[in-house]
Structure 1
Amino acid sequence: MKNIYDNENFFYKYSQMSRSQKGLAGAGEWQTFQKLLPNFNGKSVLDLGCGYGWHCLYAAEHGAKNITGVDLSQKMLTVARQKTKAYPIHYVQDDIATVSFLADSFDIVISSLAIHYVADFASLIANIKKYLKPEGILLFSVEHPAFTAEGSEDWYYDVQGNKLHYPLDNYFTEGLRETNFLEEKVVKYHRTLTTYLQTLLKNNFILLDVVEPMPPKDMLCEPGMKDELRRPMMLLVKAKNKKS
């Protein structure tokens, strides 16, 4: 059950990030993600990789009748429980790739920037298919395949330290990537855009939206944010579970 987010140093550095300090408002992709969210009123919701519980809280504030958050990190869940203690949200410490629920348990499954930590995407989608109700909605964000392909997730710089360009290499070679995030080695998994979308289609999902979000104008003044207009950093996918 070990997780990089339970590393004391890493967790502290993560807690200082804008998205940790400001919640959903501090996430560059949030304004686009929010527009894709379905109606939560009266719905059962599962958040895979719930982290601090921000999306669970949003679902509760927008009328969800029951909410479950899953995360592998004990430290993340401790913060989530504290931040959302006014709401009846159920948190589970488990691996989002293998966690099991009863069939047809949820109307909505969401996941924010967690699925690229999962090695077997096909198995994950097959599991979600089982516990998401027919006509249920799956909405997830991942790091964009163009962002994860080369592996380093860093720019090429000139001798003065200016960003020249972002590398794209080994795109069709899927699998493990080891990168540096917050000065720590982190393992992620690269897969192509085709794999993300075709896996959903092969599992009888209907694609509703595919979006490559750009940073909102009101965040372009923040350090490094303008550079995110030079590359696709994230991918948002919304799909509906077709009736069998």
Structure 2
Amino acid sequence: MNRMSQNIYDNEHFYKGYTKIRNNKLSYNEMIEMPIMKEELPDIKGKMVLDIGCGMGKFIQYMLELNPKQIVGLDISNNMISYAKELVDDERVSFVVTDILSYETDIKFDVIVSCLAFHYIEDFNLLMKKLNKLLANDGILLFSTEHPLTTATKQKENWSHVESRFNHYKLDHYFEESARPIEWLDTEVIRYHRTIGTMMNTIIDNGFIIERVLDTGNTEMSLKLWDAEDIMKVNHRPPFIVIKAKKY
């Protein structure tokens, strides 16, 4: 059994709380992650695209503006797929309720994208093998995931309140690669911590050339729209890492 089957988004309490956060135009997704993902997205005109952990379909909605041939959106959550189907009504898009490690298809995708889903998958090596199999030759993989500097700590309180509220972020147990349960929206959520080196080498070992690695900091949008405290938090620690790789 793979841990991608952890389906917190079909918990109604969690789902309602999450959709409220995700629909906030000042969220980390909108201010920090999405601008980088959009900037690094390769040309998808006329291409076959797979979106893993597509959630509410917001990135698919954006990608449709770029004239892909077809987009397949995967998500483990029935709630998420139902939301995405209401948001996106386009004959070029199909949705499948499944996790990536269980997904089977004869399609070879030109581009695979994933927004903040891979830290829920325990076996990163198996994941990369699967993605290589699904990609066409010279296909592009672009994904964001929680930054290993943020998933490392095992302490419930992540910030050391010295001098100012977000002056020091705790970094401990960095080299201990294992599950990192956290409490989020009154629900236990299991993420998996792996080092930056493990991530990079696993991608390379499974037939990819890494083209770009971006530690996500503040963007023009966040600097313009966030308050000073939120800006300080991101200045002190990167919430996400975005990686772009090419199958060879």
TM-score (norm 1): 0.91
Secondary structure of 2:17's aligned partner: helix
Q: Specify which of 125, 128, 132 is matched with residue 128 of structure 2.
A: 125
Which protein has greater RCO, CA pairs closer than 8 Å, 6+ apart? 2
Matches of 1:225 and 1:168, distance apart in 2? 19
CA contact (8 A) 1:147 1:231 kept: yes
Find the counterpart in structure 2 of residue 238 from structure 1. 244
Are residues 219 and 164 of structure 1, via their aligned partners in 2, closer, same or farther at CA, if it must alter by over 3 Å?
Answer: closer
Matches of 2:28 and 2:176, distance apart in 1? 33
AA aligned to 2:116 is: L
Matches of 2:67 and 2:48, distance apart in 1? 10
List gaps (5 residues or longer) in structure 2: none
List gaps (5 residues or longer) in structure 1: none
Percent identity between matched residues is 35
Q: Specify which of 102, 108, 112 is matched with residue 111 of structure 2.
A: 108
Are residues 144 and 85 of structure 1, via their aligned partners in 2, closer, same or farther at CA, if it must alter by over 3 Å?
Answer: same
Matches of 1:170 and 1:46, distance apart in 2? 34
1:32 positional shift: 1.7
Worse-matched range after superposition: 195-204 or 220-229: 220-229
Find the counterpart in structure 2 of residue 31 from structure 1. 35
CA contact (8 A) 1:49 1:71 kept: yes
1:105 positional shift: 1.3
CA contact (8 A) 2:31 2:219 kept: no
Find the counterpart in structure 2 of residue 225 from structure 1. 230
Instruction: List aligned pairs for 1:132-143, cutoff 5 A.
Output: 132-143=135-146
User: Which protein is richer in helix relative to its size?
Assistant: 2
| Large movers: runs of 4+ above 6 Å | none
AA aligned to 1:42 is: G
Q: Specify which of 14, 29, 47 is matched with residue 51 of structure 2.
A: 47
Find the counterpart in structure 1 of residue 166 from structure 2. 163
TM-score (norm 2): 0.89
Matches of 1:181 and 1:153, distance apart in 2? 11
1:217 positional shift: 3.3
Query: Residue 146 in 1 paired to residue 152 in 2?
Result: no
CA contact (8 A) 1:155 1:163 kept: no
